[in-house]
Amino acid sequence: MKAHAGLIFLALTLAGCAGPNPNPGERTADIAWISGRYSDAFQTVKPHAEAGRPWAQLRLGMFYADGMGVPKDMKAAIEWYEKAAAQKTDGAWADGQMVGATGRYGYFNQNSDARIAQRNLAVIFLDGKGVEKDLVRAYLNIRTVVEEQNGKPLFFCCEFAGGAGRWFLPQDLTKIYQDVVSQMSPEQKAEAEMRYAQLKKK
């Protein structure tokens, strides 16, 4: 599945947004990452991830998945992505709205971070590189993202770079979903749909 190589990187379009970042450490880490200083980025992100901050958990998953600033470790990548993916909550702050919203520093826009983590998990389980291929888990993750985004682009990062930011476009998310479904057996589809319905009831 070469179209998905590099996880998030090939799906991004360059830009950024100006203004303060309510996630301390995020901008420093992203500047180091975008500049190719992966070890600095990893060292900046790690303590924030260990403290439970979603933006950092997502990035630590990325660094482990792609071997940036640390030896590649897909098991660790999955663990950190799953931590980030579990951090969805209600509220404008969690949805990345700064004007008129309040919330904890380090948790701004956490719903986008969680969905990107789920998107990346879907790619990992679809491609099966370094881990066992699992189309059901891929389906559960990417269908959730597609439905929650409802045709809207998914913001990632890089307010410092100038422009409108780095985003995942709806067609990227839809293509991953279609790739997963196209490879599933009838039995896998039935299991995935049953488990998805159970998740929606929670």
What pLDDT, in 10s, does the model give residues 121-173? 999 999 998 999 999 999 999 999 999 999 999 988 876 666 566 889 999 99
In this prediction, residue 4 carries a pLDDT of 56
What is the C-alpha separation between 64 and 62, in angstroms, rounded? 6
- Alpha-carbon distance of 40 to 31, in angstroms, equals 10
Element at 183 (helix H, strand E) = helix 170-183
Among the residue ranges 12-21, 57-66, 84-93, 121-130, the one predicted with the least confidence is 12-21
Q: Which of 175, 165, 166, 83 is nearest to 121 (CA)?
A: 83
- Is residue 13's pLDDT more than 60? no
Instruction: Please state the pTM of the whole predicted model.
Output: 0.88
Stretch 72-80: mean pLDDT, rounded? 97
Q: Which long-range contacts (CB under 8 A, 24 or more apart) does 185-191 make?
A: 188/135, 188/136, 188/139, 189/139, 191/136
Nearest to 166 by CA among 30, 21, 25, 28: 30
What would the pLDDT profile of 171-200 be if each residue is shown by its tens digit? 999 999 999 999 999 999 999 999 999 988
CB distance 80 to 113 below 8 Å:
no
Confidence (pLDDT) at 155: 86
Q: Label residue 12 by pLDDT band (50, 70, 90).
A: very low
* Domain spans of the chain, in order of start: 21-201
21-201 homologous superfamily: Tetratricopeptide repeat domain (1.25.40.10)
Question: What is the band of 109 on the pLDDT scale with cuts at 50, 70, 90?
Answer: very high
pLDDT of residue 100: 84
DSSP letter at 70 equals S
The amino acid sitting at 202 is K
Of the chain, the percentage scoring pLDDT greater than 90 comes to 74
Mean pLDDT of 53-60: 97
Q: What is the DSSP string of 125-167?
A: HHHTSSS---HHHHHHHHHHHHHHHTT--EEEE-TTSSSS-EE
Q: Give pLDDT, residue 14.
A: 33
